[in-house]
Structure 1
Amino acid sequence: MNRTREVITLQLGHTASFVGTHLWNALDIADPDTVDTNVLIRSGIDPERGTATYAPRLVIVDLKGSLGTLKKINQLYEDSDTQADVSWNGKVDVRKQDPLPKNEYLNYLDTDPDQEDDEDDDKPQQTQQQHSQPNPKQFSKVLDSAVSVWSDYNSMFYHPRTVVEIPSYSHDDSISPFAIYNQGSDLWTSNHDLQDDILENRIRFFLEECDSPQGIQVLADVGDAFSGFTARCLESLREDVGKLCITVYGVSDGDDGVVDSVRGINESLAMAQISEFASLYVPVRKPTGLYRNSNLGGFGVKSSLQSRYHWTACLAASIDSLTLPMRLAKGPTSMSALISPLTQAGVLGMLASSVPFPFNDANSSKELFAKEVNMGDHVDWVRDDTFGLPYDVIESCIGQVSVLRGVQGLNSTELKASFNDFLSRSPTPIGCNTSYTSESGFPISLAFPDIFNPSTPASAIPLYSRLRASSRLAGLVGERVKALEQIPGKVLRMMGEQDVSKEFLASNVDLLGSLRDTYDQEN
């Protein structure tokens, strides 16, 4: 029997929690015969009520006004409508704010009749979606117009130590936006109470209740001030956890209200600083367009993926698939072993994915791989999530990790051989090209957007996802260097008002220069 090795998750920023919510919704309905949910989920007993609890091992940090209808304390932990005793004997004026209205999906979860079944009284109180019976109704059309914050499609109950709402900045504040790297950096370094709350009261709490923690995975906004907040948080965290594996997915959202030139500076500083403390840093961007027309038939994407609710769903499916090998119920790999083909050279990785993979049957998949072996230097049915390209590139690699899931017959020798032939088109040093397969597809929750073609609801989709390190990373880092060296005067003055000095920018140019040299083909 495998011993579960736990992982803690951090979601830092609003778009990061859009991605994370899709991840938790999928894990909520994952096949327990295939996936060991205990890697990311904690089961416990509420000491005050004596009831079983089931919630992600998770810390979420977001701004004031970003939580929507989500309660910091939910019905798994809170008492009934009793109020705490107070010592004041005089008149008390109680004022209650009307709760925000819930959308149709959230109301559906609240009225799930299975929550009240007597036969479930002795079972762990899990999420409402897990207890519900299969329901063919999809809520995508409702949520397309109803989603404004990530909690609008959240199905999970969270632990009381999960959610941190920063009161000093407001969500979607156009007057005083949380937009510049140093705003986030200064918020962390100057607010010791906030540091202690996140590190000691929350992250350490989840770590100390683990039997054998193997790492921390981080989803972070890097286009706004959460770039600086994340960098300083990871610096403190690294001092606390030593050599524990930390993987970071740095998400940049083009619709976050940040000026493009400022976003580029934030992304650059995030790459320079986070790379100092992360075991692996994977920058990802909002898609810039649809997949190329490849006339493959099979499954495709019909959405333009410009909605945050849509494109973060695809990104979540890709990340879920990449981390599947460390969450397998049988024969899992460790978090550090999973990323080792990339980290032998440096700390950067490039993400690409086919969401969904065009076929879920062995014969069509085998023909697709065989066809690609004789094609050019682009793969039209894979999207590059790091560069935002609607295709993937065939190239020599420093290291590569690939996952193919949801295709029936993956255990057949012929299909595995075709898959390996396809992967070998990108030459990689011996021992630095690993692949994993699973017949279990990515589970589609009731709240997952209707973005696939054909649109017939399916319980799971086939998917291909990969991480790679190559000399192209030198060009990516070079872009980040250029963003710091060519800052417009107006933007530089604005950054100066937030104590972003020229010396600080120059030091980060040096850090990025060293990082670029790591991946420069001439070196």
Structure 2
Amino acid sequence: MKEIVTVQVGGFANFVGSHFWNFQDELLGLAEDPCADSVFKKQHLDMDVLYRTGETQQGILTYTPRLVSIDFQGSLGSMSSHGTLYNHEPTIPSDITTWTAGVSTHTAERHKKNLFLQSLYEEQDRTVDKSGPQGEYQDRDIVESLGKGVEFWTDFSKVHYHPQSLYELSGLWMDAREFDNYGIGRDALSHGLQGEEISERLRVFVEECDRVQGFQFMVDDSGGFSAVASELLENIADEYSNTPVLLYALRAPESYVNLGKRKQTILRSLHDAVSFSRLASYCHLVVPVGLPSLSTSRASSFFCIEDERPYHCSAVYAAALHSISLPFRMGSLVPTADLHYVSGAVDVGDVVRILSGQSRSNKVAILDMAMPAPSLTGKESGERLLNNLHPVTPEITEDVEDLQAVETMTIHGVLGPGGHPASASEVKDTIHAAYEHTSTRPKFCHLSAAHSPLPIPLPFPSIFKNVVGQRGELLENPTASPLLKGSLEVHSVPMAVRLRSSSAILPYLENRLGYLRRYGVDRGAPGAELVRSWGFGKDELEDFGEALSKMINELKPHSEVSSDSD
């Protein structure tokens, strides 16, 4: 077995991670549920790739994510930082003998569990038949309560965590809006032993693995947490230099809010340049994820999303990350004779080699998704599926013809003729035929296919438009009510996702190079002193610029990036 260790860093990353692990938990439950759809019985997924087995002090077996999550102190809501499986008694301070004056104790009131969490922890004692009307009524109450307000990512998490998984950064006397740049994040780890403590927790999970296939990082890189991730990545590069690192640089729409002030523009731009440069230097593949407005994007054609609610946006991005990771834990399928279209399982290292080790070296990939993916019926079903793959990576050029483009695609749970799950060969033949009739055919495409769709767990937000049916099919005559659907109406969704290495990512890279030069390196740069206060000298900034220029030149082999480019 080749395990994956997952790391989530920062608020929005943990929102995405919470949905991601809910999907995994739902798959585990459906596989054991005798009443579940048979398509979930034969998933051919090795969940041990993401999970670890353990045992409590009482001898109870546990199955928890191989995960380290990092966030602000107080970000766990009603959940303890030690998780829910192990009874942990808080340390009682010893009697004070060196202080003779009065002592007062200030205790913050614990956050109360919402209706979903109450039902989750009382489920084992519940005697009501869930298939009856009362169970359905309770579920509707839960969905409505989540829809009215989610404050913490733990508010909708249905997963048990290991005591070493949840780490809270202490000593940060600021809110999330002030923790908004690389320098602040770097300062947060410069004092004390928190960086070492995080690395030690990661080491616990790595050392119990038989054979690590890679690290999966989800990082909220819009503020100081990118610096926290960078330090951890630097340690990984030193200790596990041969282990691939796949990093999703995640951003919520709220992080794109334009503050309108020149000082804030300079700070935000320099942060983007420095953050990407540092993270990319320690990763094998970076996938930027997060549009300025997911609600108005083509990726949300079948959703009604409130951009200001991370609970909504993170659910969509988590669905894409779930689908991308499926080939890392699926059984191999029979490869085809056509070298351009290979079907089956891959590991993290394979994806890195496919996307960055072909005719050019490129470590930044674009993520596209179709949710739900259309059925494979009709003569133009392949073209329809490809046309429904829309980017959730920001700052790219669309409809670019790149003869050197390579990609890896995962399609699962799509319906074929007659409404039955399409076979792997049907998926392959459909995609192959579609690319034969398109001008944007990639140089190489790896395809993975699976029968099981994306399950929609109870705490998934009610964001589906009423054109989406119970199995994720698109209805020709949708009912008028409800206008928005959630897990009670939509039980599963077919998915198609694609990671591609393409010159379409050039604007993303060129913008960061321009920010670096204009605000940090050029003579009289207005942000030179700011970035120096973050601990970076001019030589280091110029090194970042050279690395960015090299990335751009790899994607533009017949042109040069001038030294005065902005």
The answer (yes or no) to whether the contact 2:355–2:407 under 8 Å persists in 1 is yes
Report the AA paired with residue 42 of structure 1: R
Q: Which residue does 1:322 correspond to in 2? A: 324
Q: Which residue does 2:53 correspond to in 1? A: 43
CA distance in 2, matches of 1:372, 1:54: 36
Q: Which residue does 1:130 correspond to in 2? A: none
Task: Tell me the number of residue pairs that the alignment of Structure 1 and Structure 2 aligns.
Answer: 484
Matched, 1:271 2:280: no
Matched, 1:74 2:77: no
**Displacement, 1:191?**
4.1
Q: Which residue does 1:185 correspond to in 2? A: 186
Q: Which residue does 1:312 correspond to in 2? A: 314
The answer (yes or no) to whether the contact 1:41–1:57 under 8 Å persists in 2 is yes
**Displacement, 1:480?**
0.8
Report the AA paired with residue 226 of structure 1: F
Report the AA paired with residue 456 of structure 2: I
Q: How does 1:25-424 map to 2 (within 5 A)?
A: 25-30=22-27, 31-32=30-31, 33-34=42-43, 35-46=45-56, 48-78=57-87, 97-113=108-124, 137=140, 139-170=142-173, 172=175, 177-188=178-189, 190-191=190-191, 193-200=193-200, 202-256=201-255, 259-290=264-295, 300-328=302-330, 332-344=345-357, 345-357=361-373, 359=374, 361-363=375-377, 367-370=380-383, 379=387, 381-387=388-394, 395-408=402-415, 409-411=421-423, 413-423=425-435
The answer (yes or no) to whether the contact 1:471–1:521 under 8 Å persists in 2 is no
**Displacement, 1:404?**
1.1
Moved more, 404-413 or 313-322: 404-413
CA distance in 2, matches of 1:86, 1:275: 44
CA distance in 2, matches of 1:44, 1:335: 25
SS for the counterpart of 2:377 is helix
Moved more, 164-173 or 457-466: 164-173
Cα distance change on mapping 1:93 and 1:505 into 2, 3 Å: closer
Cα distance change on mapping 1:388 and 1:368 into 2, 3 Å: farther
Matched, 1:428 2:429: no
CA distance in 2, matches of 1:423, 1:193: 53
Moved more, 306-315 or 13-22: 306-315
TM-score scaled to structure 2, two decimals? 0.77
Report the AA paired with residue 58 of structure 1: L
CA distance in 2, matches of 1:286, 1:442: 22
Q: Which residue does 2:504 correspond to in 1? A: 472
Q: Percent identity?
A: 24
Report the AA paired with residue 167 of structure 1: S
Cα distance change on mapping 1:180 and 1:93 into 2, 3 Å: closer
Cα distance change on mapping 1:248 and 1:116 into 2, 3 Å: farther
Residue of 1, 10, 13 corresponding to 1:16: 13
**Displacement, 1:505?**
2.9
SS for the counterpart of 1:155 is coil
Cα distance change on mapping 1:156 and 1:513 into 2, 3 Å: same
SS for the counterpart of 2:372 is coil
Report the AA paired with residue 347 of structure 1: K
Matched, 1:517 2:539: no
Residue of 437, 462, 473 corresponding to 2:449: 437
CA distance in 2, matches of 1:184, 1:238: 20
SS for the counterpart of 2:78 is coil
**Displacement, 1:192?**
6.0
CA distance in 2, matches of 1:371, 1:173: 41
CA distance in 2, matches of 1:85, 1:371: 63
The answer (yes or no) to whether the contact 1:65–1:171 under 8 Å persists in 2 is no
CA distance in 1, matches of 2:278, 2:90: 45
Cα distance change on mapping 1:152 and 1:264 into 2, 3 Å: farther
The answer (yes or no) to whether the contact 2:270–2:531 under 8 Å persists in 1 is no
Q: Which residue does 1:127 correspond to in 2? A: none
CA distance in 1, matches of 2:70, 2:286: 19
**Displacement, 1:96?**
5.7
**Displacement, 1:328?**
1.7
The answer (yes or no) to whether the contact 1:180–1:262 under 8 Å persists in 2 is yes
Deviations 1:391-432 (A, max 9, x none): 776654431011111113421755532222334533333xx3
CA distance in 2, matches of 1:498, 1:338: 34
The answer (yes or no) to whether the contact 2:75–2:152 under 8 Å persists in 1 is yes
The answer (yes or no) to whether the contact 1:285–1:386 under 8 Å persists in 2 is yes
Report the AA paired with residue 368 of structure 2: A
Q: Which residue does 1:125 correspond to in 2? A: none
Cα distance change on mapping 1:498 and 1:87 into 2, 3 Å: closer
CA distance in 2, matches of 1:348, 1:251: 13
CA distance in 2, matches of 1:138, 1:395: 50
RMSD: 3.3
SS for the counterpart of 1:15 is helix
Cα distance change on mapping 1:368 and 1:288 into 2, 3 Å: farther
SS for the counterpart of 2:507 is helix
CA distance in 1, matches of 2:271, 2:511: 13
CA distance in 2, matches of 1:388, 1:354: 19
Cα distance change on mapping 1:67 and 1:136 into 2, 3 Å: closer
Report the AA paired with residue 553 of structure 2: D
CA distance in 2, matches of 1:412, 1:24: 26
Cα distance change on mapping 1:314 and 1:211 into 2, 3 Å: same
Cα distance change on mapping 1:83 and 1:58 into 2, 3 Å: closer
**Displacement, 1:497?**
4.2
Q: How does 1:467-506 map to 2 (within 5 A)?
A: 467-487=499-519, 492-506=528-542
SS for the counterpart of 1:172 is coil
